[in-house]
Chain A
Amino acid sequence: MNVQPRTDTSNDDLASGLRRLGAMDPGEDFAARVMGRIGAAAPQAGPKRRMARVVEWLTEPRSIRVSPLGGIAAAACLLLALGLFFKNYGGFENGATPAGLSPVTFVLAAPSAREVAVIGSFNGWKTAGWTMRNDPATGLWTLTTALPPGSHEYVFLVDGTTPVTDAAAALSVDDGFGSRNSVLLVKNGDGAAL
């Protein structure tokens, strides 16, 4: 843009032009035409523009004001959620054994099974979080977890419908439904010699 210094001559030209404007008739649709031009010239808020705004909002550092009470409540919520998660999903792999629990590995040879889970007295007979991992090369299904000391009854649930007892279990017990449960004795520190 060229910016020229304002002189007396340019001021006179401007005043003259403005006086001529007063004599002009803009027409009845003047406002509509102006608004139409403005609308056409205005930048469109398209998807790209909106996305850019979102990215900008996400990446721009912001200050969040939280009262101490709110902060404590949020932290408590987080702890509660974590606690519920670890309570409901007891199965774990390659983790440290929680205090008071003993590591246990369940193994079942079922090459033709599509899905196998361990259900028992230790998980409320629910499959969620207790699905076993398959090794297609060997046909073995395994699950490593940690259980408290004591006597636990369990079976393998094959393909979600068929209970199968553990042939490797030291004991089995009548399940009251005409079949049997395997019994797992998890030892505590004092009984570890067995």
Chain B
Amino acid sequence: MARRFSILLIAFLVAAAWLPGPVDVLASALDAPLRQAQDDGRLTAGDAQAIEASIDQAKAEGLPSAPFTAKAEEGLAKRVTGRAIIQALETMRSDYAFARDALSRGGRAPSPDDVIMAGDSLRLGLTRQELDDMAAFEPPASPAELATAARTRAALNAVVFPARLSDDILRRGLASGALSAQWAQLFRVVQRTREAGIPDAAVAQAATRILADGGGPAELLQELGLTGRDTRKAPGKPSK
């Protein structure tokens, strides 16, 4: 009896460990909501097939498939039409392909995360021309730095930061190699400085200086006379 119990448990564990392996987890995650949407009459069988085909095509083109599955899930959760989901996936595929090509310039090999960050930046407000221009900077930056630059620029565009000033900051950042991921939050500094009445041009000047010295946004805040603190830590306690 005990032996049979053990065998059953082990079989269960083996099955649980095996399932996520060979089965495409992302595709299977979409199966249930697609079926539910069809049962509810919100999606035709043709739309469901077209959605799956669009995701398969992105995968076949070597693009990271997780964001496509997530976008389809988002559309289903928001109860938009099947046509709208297919259109969104097509736009996304085009953006990601463009981003991948821009980041690959000069034989560089962007990671899937780099492609996702740069591709999503196009949806956030970055233009293709701006991404192309940054990819052409000399000396060439790494794909990770380019992706960060794309994200930073997109967020600055979203808060209507002057394009010329953004150019100056990002050119300096890419040239110095100091454009760390934290700089993607530069738009937050801009929002804070605007609340404090500090002109955008002053922020740009300070940012280029800090980037030339290899600093980050925290130093920029101090340079501008603003300070920030992680409220989860005691005052004066440094971050680890």
The reply on B216 being an interface residue by CB < 8 A is yes
Q: Is the CB of A170 within 8 A of B191?
A: yes
Residues of A within 8 A of B74 (CB): 119, 121, 125, 175, 177
Give the size range of B's interface with the partner.
Answer: 35 or more
Q: Is the CB of B217 within 8 A of A191?
A: yes
Residues of B within 8 A of A176 (CB): 71, 87-88, 91-92, 123
CA distance A80 to B10 in the complex (A): 12
Q: How far is the CB of B91 from chain A (nearest CB, A)?
A: 6
Whether A187 touches B185, Cβ cut-off 8 Å, given contacts A73-B9, A193-B228, is yes
Residues of B within 8 A of A125 (CB): 70, 73-74, 76-78
* Residue from the list B76, B185, B240 in contact with A194, Cβ < 8 A: B185
CA distance A53 to B171 in the complex (A): 82
Residues of A within 8 A of B120 (CB): 151, 173
Q: Is the CB of B217 within 8 A of A194?
A: yes
Q: Which residues of A48-81 are within 8 A (CB) of B? A: 65-67, 69-70, 73-74, 76-77, 80
In the complex, which residue of chain B has the Cβ closest to the Cβ of A149?
A: B181
* Residue from the list B5, B75, B181 in contact with A177, Cβ < 8 A: B75
Whether A173 touches B9, Cβ cut-off 8 Å, given contacts A178-B84, A191-B217, is no
Residues of A within 8 A of B77 (CB): 119, 125-127, 157
Residues of B within 8 A of A155 (CB): 78
Q: Is the CB of B6 within 8 A of A67?
A: yes
Q: Is the CB of A194 within 8 A of B13?
A: no
* Residue from the list B29, B76, B187, B227 in contact with A170, Cβ < 8 A: B187
Whether A73 touches B13, Cβ cut-off 8 Å, given contacts A124-B29, A194-B185, is yes
Q: Is the CB of B232 within 8 A of A80?
A: no
Q: Is the CB of A192 within 8 A of B230?
A: yes
* Residue from the list A73, A163, A183, A189 in contact with B10, Cβ < 8 A: A73
Contact with B along A92-113 (1 / 0, CB 8 A): 0000000000110000000000
In the complex, which residue of chain A has the Cβ closest to the Cβ of B87?
A: A176
The reply on B137 being an interface residue by CB < 8 A is no
* Residue from the list A67, A157, A193 in contact with B230, Cβ < 8 A: A193
Q: Is the CB of B187 within 8 A of A171?
A: yes
The reply on A190 being an interface residue by CB < 8 A is yes
Residues of A within 8 A of B88 (CB): 175-177
Contact with A along B65-95 (1 / 0, CB 8 A): 0000011011111111000110110011000
Residues of B within 8 A of A9 (CB): none
Whether A173 touches B124, Cβ cut-off 8 Å, given contacts A77-B9, A187-B185, A189-B240, is yes
In the complex, which residue of chain A has the Cβ closest to the Cβ of B189?
A: A194
In the complex, which residue of chain B has the Cβ closest to the Cβ of A124?
A: B73
Residues of B within 8 A of A173 (CB): 120, 123-125, 158
10 residue pairs, one from A and one from B, having the closest CB atoms: A192-B230, A176-B88, A193-B218, A73-B9, A70-B6, A125-B77, A191-B182, A193-B228, A125-B74, A177-B80
**Chain A residues packing against B (C-beta within 8 Å):** 65-67, 69-70, 73-74, 76-77, 80, 102-103, 119, 121, 124-127, 151, 155, 157, 161, 163, 170-179, 183, 185, 187, 189-194
Beyond the given pairs A73-B9, A155-B78, A189-B230, 20 more chain A to chain B contacts, judged by CB atoms under 8 angstroms and listed by A's residue number, are A67-B3, A69-B10, A76-B9, A76-B13, A119-B77, A121-B70, A124-B29, A151-B120, A170-B188, A171-B155, A173-B124, A174-B124, A177-B74, A177-B80, A178-B84, A191-B185, A191-B217, A191-B218, A193-B229, A194-B218
